[in-house]
A = this chain, B = another copy of it.
Amino acid sequence: MTKILYGNIIAKKIRNQINKKVLCMKKKGQRPPHLATILVGNNSVSMTYVNNKIKDCENVGFKSSFLHLPNTITEKKLIKIIKDLNKDTLLDGLIIQLPLPKNINKENIIIAIDPDKDVDGFHPLNIGKMTMGIKTFIPATPLGILTLLNYYKINTQGKHIVIIGRSRIVGMPISILMAMKRSPGNSTVTLTHSYTQEIAYHTRKADIIITALGVPKFLKSNMIKKSALLIDVGISRVKDSTNTKGYKLLGDVDFDNVYNKVSSITPVPGGIGPITRSMLLKNTLIAVQKRKK
């Protein structure tokens, strides 16, 4: 029977754990963890993400600050704001919502963040540490995948994992992590992407598939082997007039089509998405511990 790997259950447990820790901190007279989010411009999807992050903070008792900056801000001014926030000893985590306007160099902005406050795990120093297996912030989505694998006690050692998509925030880091000498990890990893000649040729051989492509219902039954385990990171909004919101969320996997062939599968929504959201909170708590050291 196919096992559905729910992420929302795990996310709820993590939020509860974090909430307990925050209550404990407050009891001891300590201030709660504090996350600041910077948003440049008025991208509506970005706004939704930022609002969710603020809501998530409130739900677990974190303090959250929100800096909404105009589209016209210069790179220099933005870096100045970041450097000031870096110095703020009452701030633990700092994230810049991406994408940024085109006149701003994303790399320069990410590098300006204090690596010890970089709870997104996007700073090159943190990516380098992650790659070297040194304890550090791991970006939320890969960390969410590791957490899900851990929770469901999925053995990845020696398994062949095929990853679809090589983005800096999902495909690339999870490919590095899963190939490393760690648990979960120790897998044989194939990283496929837009230049791969035939993605199905690779996915058909995989014990585990992690897809982060953003193409709804891309992965069909004829592209996987029997009893494969599927982790669906893709989330696409597709118009749906029967839904009150006017849209529905679809993953990269054609869920109904593959359901009877797979051993386990993460749903969309309710799979990797909610765990990913809770990982930002977890990283902010790690930042607090880093500051205490």
Query: A: which residues have CB within 8 A of B?
Result: 107, 123-129, 131-132, 134, 157-158, 160, 166, 168, 172, 175-176, 179-181, 186-193, 195-197, 202
Contacts and interface: CB of A to CB of B under 8 A. Distances in A.
B179 A187 contact: no
Contacts of A181: 166, 195
17 contacts: A107-B132, A125-B128, A126-B128, A127-B127, A127-B128, A128-B129, A131-B176, A172-B176, A172-B179, A179-B191, A181-B195, A186-B195, A187-B195, A188-B191, A188-B195, A188-B202, A189-B190
A192 B179 CA distance: 8
A74 to B, nearest CB: 21
Nearest to A127: B128
A196 B159 CA distance: 7
A134 B124 contact: yes
Instruction: Report the copy number of this chain in the oligomer.
Output: 2
Given A179-B175, A188-B190, A195-B157, A131 B134 contact: no
A54 to B, nearest CB: 27
A14 B196 CA distance: 32
B125 A196 contact: no
Contacts of A131: 124, 127-128, 131, 172, 176
Nearest to A178: B191
Given A107-B134, A124-B128, A172-B179, 7 more contacts: A124-B129, A128-B128, A166-B179, A175-B175, A175-B179, A187-B195, A188-B192
Contacts of A176: 131, 172, 176
Contacts of A132: 107, 124, 127, 168
Contacts of A202: 188
Given A129-B128, A131-B124, A158 B188 contact: no
Given A131-B128, A172-B131, A196 B190 contact: no
Nearest to A207: B197
A96 to B, nearest CB: 15
Nearest to A175: B179
Contacts of A128: 123-129, 131
Contact of A125 (B124, B172, B186, B197): B124
A78 to B, nearest CB: 18
